[in-house]
Structure 1
Amino acid sequence: MTPSPHAARWAARAGVVLTGGATLLALAATAALAAPVDPTDPTAPVSPVVDGAGTGGLDISIGGDNPSSAITLILAITVLSVAPSLLLLVTSFTKIAVVLSLTRNALGLQSAPPNQVLTGLAFFLTLFVMGPVISDINEIAVQPYLDGQLSVGQAYDTGVEPLKDFLLANTRSDELKLMVGLSGEEAPADPQSTTMLTLVPAFVLSELKSAFIIGLVVFIPFLVLDMLVSAALMAMGMMMVPPVIVSLPFKLLLFVVVDGWALITTALVGSYSGSG
């Protein structure tokens, strides 16, 4: 027997009611199981074990008493970046390079010896002259700093003293007074109190002046030889022949006979005797 449509609708409504009731019962059971509980008292924090140094067992030092390798590497890169300026301004390189260049010009040579040779010779002569100063700086400043005995500021203040002595020993008083006057500062009580910002340009000016004086002395004999060759060519009516070409072999012969490179090297190194 087929149920009537009215009975079917009532059956569907009854199913929905039963399903909703079951769902409510399930939610009520879940809420009962998850009922809140009273909070417990918080526990006191446990203090960390503190060692004798008072650091809580945590070591954040970078190298202890000695400078770390990272800081040393950064300082080394910084020094290398300004090394060319230091080499030119606070050593004997300026005067040696200028004198060697003037000697080559006095001989009438344009590219012999080449610039690389002259620069290399000037560099090694600079190391020879500055050897005692570099040794003093390394002994009293660099090594104590690497051993952790001096800070960066203390190492600089200590290491600059030998360099300042070298600069003062090779700086003319006229150039030093000039730079002190241009700086607008009061004259120092003694030369040792001069700041490096004033002393370095005064030293460079003194080196250039000394280099030009030595270059003038080197130029005079070759100039006289050029004049003699030129007069001889004019007397023979050979005015179309460049005197420089004729005099060049005689200048080279004279330079070799008197051992010119040895004389110039002796004069350059001897000008710094007792200044380190």
Structure 2
Amino acid sequence: MNEFMEFFNSSSSESVSTSVKLLLLLTVLSIAPSILILMTSFTRIIIVLSFVRTSLATQQMPPNQVLVGLALFLTFFIMAPTFSQVNDQALTPLFNDEINLEEAYEKAAIPFREFMSKHTRQKDLELFLTYSKAERPETIQDIPLTVFVPAYALSELKTAFQIGFMIFIPFLVIDMVVASILMSMGMMMLPPVMISLPFKILLFVLVDGWYLVVKSLLQSFS
């Protein structure tokens, strides 16, 4: 009887442990899109790539699926060291029953805080710290994620729009030159975009634009 009870208790504990792991996995999968968008480099990359397509005025070329796919793989490439630290410090010990769920969460947040701290403006961080009315943190690891994530997202938006502005300038010059030429020739009814589009694509191809854009994005996270 005692042996049966011991076996039942061990089986129950294993079942509970498995249930907790499944619950953790489902929770991570449900919030994975938000984590990917707001706590990684995805936001900056997808906005910059969208700016490139808009400045070229190529409508849906490249398609959204291509831009999102490229942004995802660039994100995985840039975030690989961070994801590796999370796996080594939090996920692997948790699945090996070396730490509990709360400790795994705290250890997993450390690499993300270190990454976000490198790209978060002090001004944005001060904004959310002030409105949260929390005690001033002594170190980066003392800043709660509820403050860090929106501050980081706000900084990423500004950086992405700054890069997008620089991308727009050469294509805007081409549009202005083409529009001036058409007006001087009296061709008022001909849309300037129709004439400038081949020249913008030609310029983008000649300077190897996609290479330069991706290189600039990678360097902005180095």
**TM superposition score category, shorter chain reference:** over 0.9
| 1:69, distance to aligned residue in structure 2 (A) | 3.0
Do structure 1's residue 117 and structure 2's residue 45 form an aligned pair? no
Q: Partner of 2:190: helix, strand, or coil?
A: coil
The answer as to whether partners of 2:113 and 2:140 remain within 8 angstroms in 1 is no
Figure out how many residues of one structure are paired with residues of the other and give that number: 222
Aligned runs of 1:41-190 on 2, under 5 Å? 57-62=6-11, 68-190=17-139
Do structure 1's residue 271 and structure 2's residue 212 form an aligned pair? no
**Structure 1-normalised TM-score?**
0.76
Between Structure 1 and Structure 2, the one with more helix by share is 2
The answer as to whether partners of 1:62 and 1:68 remain within 8 angstroms in 2 is no
| 1:184, distance to aligned residue in structure 2 (A) | 2.1
In structure 2, relative to structure 1, the CA distance for the partners of 1:154 and 1:239 (3 Å cut) is same
Equivalent of 1:238, from 152, 172, 187?
187
In structure 2, relative to structure 1, the CA distance for the partners of 1:190 and 1:245 (3 Å cut) is same
Q: Distance in 2 between matches of 1:67 and 1:107?
A: 55
Question: In the alignment, which residue of structure 2 is the partner of 1:197?
Answer: 146
**Structure 2-normalised TM-score?**
0.94
| 1:68, distance to aligned residue in structure 2 (A) | 3.4
| 1:141, distance to aligned residue in structure 2 (A) | 0.8
In structure 2, relative to structure 1, the CA distance for the partners of 1:263 and 1:63 (3 Å cut) is farther
Q: Distance in 2 between matches of 1:255 and 1:63?
A: 63
Q: Distance in 1 between matches of 2:74 and 2:8?
A: 48
In structure 2, relative to structure 1, the CA distance for the partners of 1:66 and 1:173 (3 Å cut) is farther
Q: Which runs of 5+ in 2 are unaligned?
A: none
Q: Which moved further from structure 2: 74-83 or 99-108?
A: 74-83
| Alignment root-mean-square deviation, CA | 1.9
Q: Which runs of 5+ in 1 are unaligned?
A: 1-47
In structure 2, relative to structure 1, the CA distance for the partners of 1:152 and 1:212 (3 Å cut) is same
Q: Partner of 1:61: helix, strand, or coil?
A: helix
| 1:237, distance to aligned residue in structure 2 (A) | 1.3
Equivalent position amino acid for 1:202 in 2: A
Question: In the alignment, which residue of structure 1 is the partner of 2:174?
Answer: 225
